[in-house]
Chain A
Amino acid sequence: MDSDNPFPPPSSRRHRRAPKWADFTFLLLTGWGAVLVLALLVALFVGFYIGSQTAIHQLGFRFLTNTVWLAATDNPVLPGNVYGVEPVLVGTLLTSALALLLAIPLSMGAAIFLTQQAPLSIRGPVGQLIELLAAIPSVIYGFWGLIVLVPIMRANIEPALASGLYWTGWFSGTPTGLDVLTASVVLAVMVIPTITAISRDSMAAVPVSQKEAAISLGATDWEVTRNAVLPYARGGVFAGIILGLGRAMGETMAVTMVIGNPSYLTPYPTSLFSQYQTIASLLATRFAEYSSPLELSSLIEAGLVLLLITLAINVVARGVLSRFQRGRGVGRE
């Protein structure tokens, strides 16, 4: 059946090659993409470091300890320009910690419910709805927070908290709604999807055998969760929480719009009702109107502090997460 041989005779073998440069060029092109990614990380550090130089030279370590952020022109008492990152650093840490305090129980509760108890049909859709939370831009959260949440806080929630919990000393001052507490609430809302998603994945990856072992010992639903699922998923959940912390610290717009941004900050917030700032909100508000090269450089140095903290948190979280996933064979990250 080979009477018609469509193949060209051996002498004109089609094995002539496209010029070799095609392979090499492509390797070069994609390699450049990879190089740029690496260079971006390096450039970030270098850029921030260089931009901070003026402040580092003029302020030195005092930058970390100074408790005011004032240009000389605004400041009749202290000599010269004084910029210190300590208050905003405290603001960042405090609001993030509070946000986590609110978010963790809710996220874990939701994750537990969605992986253990919820009827199968709603698990997917509800999970997607929670992820939809993450898709809404933070500026819209800030907007909503400003228009809707702040009045509620001011008129209802904060007075109630003040009357019930004034003895703790954290609820002093007149509630305005634009304060650390509201900012923490908004942050919690934004961080919940992250923690929930990772916790869900980690809990869903617990082998059925672990749960069956607990059930066969007569454990209740909750006891199964507490003794079989949670310990197994511990690493993943922990990593999710740390990642959430990183996100909370870096969040800008929503926080800026509800935290108050007073022109003068106390070394630490005296109450949850205090107007305050975070590093992110400081950058958002002062960057457009910096008064001097020193202030600009100080702003950049504050950014460097934030950069180092969030990147470190990220590295730790991903390290924990990858070790957890490798050991447990979990799916998506």
Chain B
Amino acid sequence: MNTDAGSVKLAIDHLSAYYGTVRGVEDVSLRIPPQQVTAIIGPSGCGKSTLIRCLNRLHETLPGARVEGQVLLDGENLYDLDPTLVRRRVGMVFQKPNPFATMSIYGNVSAPLRFNSRMPREEMDRIVVQSLKRAALWDEVRDRTDAPATSLSGGQQQRLCIARSLAADPEVLLMDEPCSALDPIATAKIEELIAQLKKDYTVVIVTHNMQQAARVADSTAFMYLGKLVEFGPTEQLFERPRERLTEAYITGRFG
């Protein structure tokens, strides 16, 4: 693990997250490298979703929720900044695709542009097209961007959400089990997409599917009961895990 500051995009520092009195994440420290895909795996309830929601400060919006510790993005502590600004730099794609049902495809992708800035229509058009291209959706919708977002299939809706997040021009893209609600073909398309995305973005993906992590991720972190058990290059974690617990999980003895 390289702790050189230049090759760390997100530095998670002794992070703990609470729901009221219940602790979901316990003292996690993690260095996420830039322009790579980092996967977080672990059994249900291990805290991986909670952890990822601390990275875009979504966790604290729940009543009674609390966060301790720091998350440094390029050296700046996210918890010292305006949460709304943080969320523009750290985007998120959710498990269940959630396009704005009352808006069109164009409306969805342009939403962050329309609501967060004043942008002339031409500029918006270009960014929308580019985002849809980067999300590998452009070819399928190029002639019907005014169609309602709900007219797309599940997999397409998820790529729409990805395009929407990209339009906000983030530095980091968080993905919370983005393929769980999709069929295998749609899943494959998105995994292909992730491989492309990492050229421009830092991707952190939470997945309960170990094989997926093995396929897409450069580095993988394994969590259990709120704690970080092991973190390292994917190949190494899967083939030569250092911790007993990791090995047990990977070989399917639990979870």
Contact = CB atoms under 8 A, between A and B. Distances in A.
Direct A–B contact in complex, judged by CB atoms less than 8 Å apart: yes
B117 A14 contact: yes
Contacts of B130: 4-7
Given A15-B85, A17-B82, 16 more contacts: A1-B133, A2-B134, A2-B200, A4-B126, A4-B130, A6-B126, A6-B127, A7-B127, A7-B169, A14-B116, A14-B117, A14-B169, A15-B88, A17-B84, A17-B85, A20-B82
Contacts of B88: 15
Interface residues of A, number: 11
Nearest to B84: A17
A11 to B, nearest CB: 13
Nearest to B130: A6
Interface string B201-230: 000000000000000000000000000000
A13 B170 CA distance: 10
A6 B82 contact: no
7 contacts: A2-B134, A4-B126, A4-B130, A6-B123, A6-B126, A14-B169, A17-B85
Interface string B104-135: 00000000000011000001001100100110
A20 B126 CA distance: 29
Nearest to A1: B133
Contacts of A1: 133
Centre residue among B89, B134, B169 by max chain A CB count within 10 A: B169
Interface of A: 1-2, 4-7, 13-15, 17, 20
A3 to B, nearest CB: 11
Contacts of A6: 123, 126-127, 130
Interface SS, A side: loop
A81 B22 CA distance: 67
B89 A15 contact: yes
Give the bracket for the number of chain B residues in contact with chain A: 10 to 19
Interface SS, B side: helix
Contacts of A17: 82, 84-85
Contacts, number: 24
Nearest to B124: A6
B56 to A, nearest CB: 14
A4 B169 CA distance: 15
A6 B129 CA distance: 9
Contacts of A20: 82
Nearest to B123: A6
B108 to A, nearest CB: 18
A4 B127 CA distance: 10
B112 to A, nearest CB: 10
Contacts of B117: 14
Contacts of A15: 85, 88-89
A2 B200 CA distance: 10
Contacts of A7: 127, 130, 169
A7 B170 CA distance: 11
A289 B155 CA distance: 73
A1 B136 CA distance: 11
Contacts of A4: 126, 130
Contacts of B127: 6-7
A7 to B, nearest CB: 5
Interface string B81-102: 0101100110000000000000
A7 B129 CA distance: 11
Interface string B128-148: 001001100000000000000
Contacts of B134: 2
A84 B133 CA distance: 81
A1 B135 CA distance: 12
B35 to A, nearest CB: 14
Contacts of B116: 14
Contacts of B84: 17
A4 B130 CA distance: 8
A309 to B, nearest CB: 37
A191 B169 CA distance: 59
A332 B108 CA distance: 31
A7 B200 CA distance: 12
Contacts of B85: 15, 17
Contacts of A5: 130
Nearest to A8: B169
A227 B126 CA distance: 67
Contacts of B133: 1
A113 to B, nearest CB: 38
Centre residue among A2, A5, A15 by max chain B CB count within 10 A: A15
A14 B127 CA distance: 13
A322 B89 CA distance: 44
B254 to A, nearest CB: 36
A4 B84 CA distance: 28
A250 B130 CA distance: 63
Contacts of A13: 169
B113 to A, nearest CB: 9
Contacts of A14: 116-117, 169
A124 B134 CA distance: 50
A27 to B, nearest CB: 14
A20 B85 CA distance: 11
